[in-house]
Amino acid sequence: NSLLVVLLAVPLTLLTSSWAGFSMAQLPTASQRRWIVLSLAVLMVPGVALWSTRFFIYAWLGWYNTILALIAPAIMGTSPFFVLMFYRAFRRIPVAIYEAVRLEGAGVLSSWWQIALPIARPTAVGVALLSFILYWSDFVSPLLYLRSQRLYTLPIALQLLQQLTPSQWSLLMAGAVLATIVPVMLFLLLQPYFARLEN
């Protein structure tokens, strides 16, 4: 289930947060400042304050006790921090490039897909890695929004394993290694890419 959540949530996070960041970068300067202030204000809201609200929304939508409850934050870009990362990356692209593309007849989506996103690829990789770790290691959301054990993700399964079989440390450690090795391997695989970016 953890793998399913990650495979759905990470691409969705990249899509929505890059769209939002690109939209912010295209606004007039005064509007950009307002959206930045709003994003920073939302970032200051602790996640604990959203738990009960999300619970009622998911129950109303019929998403309680479904995988949708775990990937729902990705619909909004997961975090305003990711939106601001993309906004900053897209702001560094000269306006002349966007204007040249539009003169050739490209629309907004074409400008985002063909110009902005390829240039902001390092940011996209960083956001993908951060969101992967966030969803892979999420313990609270499955605990709050899932009731059926067949839907539990790896962190919850490890906690249940510790409670049900406290003496089987070998099995528990094997699960902990599995939970840890996937993000570590992902980071090691992307390390050459980050090294090329620095050079």
How far is Cα 145 from Cα 64, in angstroms, rounded to an integer? 6
pLDDT of residue 110: 85
Tell me: pLDDT of 29 over 90. no
pLDDT of residue 199: 55
Whole-prediction pTM:
0.86
Structure confidence at residue 188 as a pLDDT band (50, 70, 90): confident
Tens of pLDDT, residues 49-103: 888 888 899 999 998 989 999 998 888 877 889 999 999 999 998 888 888 888 8
Q: For a pLDDT cut of 90, what percent of the chain falls above it?
A: 27
How far is Cα 119 from Cα 112, in angstroms, rounded to an integer? 10
pLDDT, mean of residues 179-186: 85
pLDDT, mean of residues 122-138: 90
pLDDT of residue 114: 86
How far is Cα 179 from Cα 160, in angstroms, rounded to an integer? 14
Instruction: Please enumerate in sequence order all residues whose Cβ is within 8 A of that of 87, keeping only pairs 6 or more positions apart, or say none.
Output: 20, 21, 22, 24, 25, 32, 36
Q: Which domains does the chain have, with CATH numbers?
A: 2-198 (1.10.3720.10)
